[in-house]
Amino acid sequence: MSSKLRILVPVKRVIDYAVKPRVKSDRTGVETANVKHSLNPFDELSIEEAVRLRERKQPVEDILAVSAGPAKCADTLRTAMAMGADRSIHIDVPEDKALEPLGVAKLLKAIAEKEQSNLIILGKQAIDDDAGQTGQMLAGLLNWPQATQASKVEISDDTITVTREVDGGEETLKAKLPMIITTDLRLNEPRYASLPNIMKAKKKKLEKKTLADYGVDGKARLKTIKVEEPPTRQGGGKVEDVDGMISKLKELGAI
Amino acid sequence: MLSVARHSALRTLRAQTCSKSLFAQTQSSSLARLLSTLAILEQKDGKINTGSLGAVTAGQKLGGPIHGFVAGKAGKSLAQAAAKIQGLEKVIAVENEAYERGLPENWAPLLVENIKKGGYTHVIVSHSAFGKSLLPRVAALLDVQQLSDVMSIESEDTFVRPIYAGNAILTVQSSDPVKLLTVRQTSFPPAETEGGSASVEEGVDPKVESPTEWVSENLAKSDRPELASASKVVSGGRGLKSKEEFDRLIPPLADALGAAIGASRAAVDSGFADNSLQVGQTGKNVAPQLYLCAGISGAIQHLAGMKDSKVIACINKDPDAPIFQVADVGLVGDLFEKVPELTEKLKSQS
């Protein structure tokens, strides 16, 4: 007798992975206005995995996508629903008050408790802040087992077996529901949302909430002092042939 | 002129906010006097992982005493090995087989207890799979916003870290009472493992059981230097076309140089190379003396993992590939000809 899966999938709207971010001239951050944004690539994997669990005839009762951020996060949630999430919640947070991972984890804890989620699948990191913390923090706050950087997830009854990517190879862990999983790139190949599914997603439920609804203050612990361009490398030019390469490498002391 | 004006305006503003929070200021300066660091050392089969010793080096940038932390089945012998690490004043050791596999579910409460007991102001662990999986869980239990992949320590509360795949560098100040950091291995070289004489103390063991069970592991075996710490790396990408060609061309070149082998995401995704060899934003960060790559175009995500290398050399048939913009030595040509030629010529020289 296995319990029904109530899956929570947090998603983040980030600058598209193919765009090279530009640092603002006042060094307060990265230019986000008029820049293409998308669903964080690791979060696409989370949605895909949740949908595949249902397709593999696991007892998936509900797939809930949530996102905290400015109004445009609603688009991100529509994408998640077009990929197969059943419904979504948008927590309105102004762009200049963006939550830190700890704040997001506290918010997700409150949502998971209210929605009675028993499996939470998150991306291993957001490609903007590259923190890689939210899933583990959430697992700590809920005191649930965690399996990060998952490349394979198998469920049988209440036991989840996860293969995770570690330094030098992979390891396999086993735990019982409820559980937190964070996704690595090798987990699956996310699907494209088809036009009919995009149309259907428009009719799916998207609730609007605020941080106050969940009793989360979202106060920042970190203060940005400055954001700078990384030092640029000077391309050293090209060589004609293999001998040229070897002598240049010798000259540079690399061999 | 303008920037000077802006600067002084900023200073005035800062002075104002400081005077408003006099209490906070005295609190932070008393903290500075009592600054102490816990460096978490990783172990594998009873041996301390060299890569994790960067945590000690990072601790030295802060000033103040540094204590090392080890736990596992061979707690006592680990403690003895750790006591010789230069820079450590004390080693806190916990001997219990439950910690052997580094599971965050029981490691996190273990660390929380020991951090509280020792009253540490800073806790540092290497930004490895172990550190990345564990420290955020500890941070949540301590109600602290952790800092990931720190590249540089400016002061006791100000740290520098990459964001957007290293396309921007963020300097950030933490207001938390305890600072939790994972540090970039390539920015903090390992501390010396001989010559130290730290005292050893038994840590607190809360004996929390892990709900997660370790089943098995499958690690790629190799006699080559470890990718993250190798002084030379030879890396292959999609241009190699197949696993057969990757295996035919890349290992001999790596052998000729005594280098570790890396790969781009495209090469890993196409099955040419193992996942653990991936270099980039979502793979490993490397900063070797020489990074020599073939058939890699140089996407943002790949550059994120290797652009701090001392010398970058590349072979690519597309003269407009972005990799040429960062390479110190670039050769435009067919890698199926150039790589074997390079391998032969390097071999005959040594």
In a domain, A255, yes or no: no
Confirm whether residue B301 is marked as ligand binding. yes
Model pLDDT for residues B282-335, shown as the tens digit of each residue: 899 999 999 999 999 999 999 999 999 999 999 999 999 999 999 999 999 999
Confirm whether residue B281 is marked as ligand binding. yes
Q: Name the region of B145 (left: φ>0; alpha: ψ -120 to 50; beta: rest).
A: beta
The ipTM estimated for the assembled molecules is 0.96
User: What pLDDT score does B16 carry?
Assistant: 46
Within 8 A by CB and 6+ apart from B172, the residues are A222, A223, A224, A225, B147, B158, B159, B160, B161
Q: Which amino acid is at B252?
A: P
- Check residue A116 and report its DSSP letter: T
**Closest partner CB to A136 (pick from B137, B232, B333):** B137
User: What pLDDT score does A235 carry?
Assistant: 78
Give yes or no for residue B27 having a pLDDT over 50: no
CA distance A182 to chain B (A): 10
Q: Which of B115, B135, B178, B212 should be substituted to probe chain A, the one whose Cβ sees the most A Cβ atoms within 10 Å?
A: B212
Residue B178 neighbours by CB distance under 10 Å: 20
CA distance B244 to chain A (A): 21
Percent of chain B with pLDDT over 70: 90
CA atoms within 13 A on the CB side of A128: 22
Residue A103 neighbours by CB distance under 10 Å: 23
In a domain, A249, yes or no: no
pLDDT category, A87, cuts 50, 70, 90?
A: very high
Confirm whether residue B325 is marked as ligand binding. no
pLDDT category, A90, cuts 50, 70, 90?
A: very high
What 3-state DSSP class applies to B13?
helix
Q: Which of B173, B217, B281 should be substituted to probe chain A, the one whose Cβ sees the most A Cβ atoms within 10 Å?
A: B217
Average model confidence (pLDDT) for chain A? 96
Identify the domain containing residue A18 by its residue range: 5-223
Q: Which of A76-90, B11-25, B171-185, B189-203 has the lowest average pLDDT?
A: B11-25
Q: Do B257 and A255 touch (CB under 8 A)?
A: yes
User: What pLDDT score does B15 carry?
Assistant: 46
How many structural domains are present in chain A?
Answer: 1
- B231 has a chain A CB within 8 A of its CB: no
In a domain, A127, yes or no: yes
In a domain, A129, yes or no: yes
Domains of chain B: 32-202 (3.40.50.620), 232-348 (3.40.50.1220)
Model pLDDT for residues B92-105, shown as the tens digit of each residue: 999 999 999 999 99
Give yes or no for residue B14 having a pLDDT over 60: no
User: What pLDDT score does B33 carry?
Assistant: 58
Instruction: Quote the distance between the C-alpha of residue B43 and its chain's center.
Output: 15
User: How many A/B residue pairs have CB atoms within 8 Å?
Assistant: 255
In a domain, A153, yes or no: yes
What 3-state DSSP class applies to A112?
helix
Helix and strand totals (H; E) in chain A:
6, 13
> pTM for the complete prediction?
0.90
In a domain, A237, yes or no: no
Mean pLDDT of B67-75: 97
User: What pLDDT score does A179 carry?
Assistant: 98
In a domain, A240, yes or no: no
CATH of the domain at A189: 3.40.50.620
Average model confidence (pLDDT) for chain B? 91
Give yes or no for residue A199 having a pLDDT over 90: yes
Q: Do A227 and B212 touch (CB under 8 A)?
A: no
Mean pLDDT of B127-148: 98
Q: Facing residues of A39 across strands?
A: A13
Give yes or no for residue B141 having a pLDDT over 80: yes
**Closest partner CB to A145 (pick from B212, B232, B300):** B212
| For A40, nearest residue in chain B (alpha carbons) | B164
User: What pLDDT score does B145 carry?
Assistant: 98
Residue B79 neighbours by CB distance under 10 Å: 24
Q: Do B331 and A241 touch (CB under 8 A)?
A: yes
pLDDT category, A2, cuts 50, 70, 90?
A: low
In a domain, A254, yes or no: no
Confirm whether residue B242 is marked as ligand binding. no
Model pLDDT for residues A16-36, shown as the tens digit of each residue: 999 999 999 999 999 999 999
Cα–Cα dist B303/B295, whole Å: 14
Cα–Cα dist B151/B171, whole Å: 10
Give yes or no for residue A233 having a pLDDT over 90: no
Q: Do B220 and A138 touch (CB under 8 A)?
A: no
Confirm whether residue B238 is marked as ligand binding. yes
| For B170, nearest residue in chain A (alpha carbons) | A227
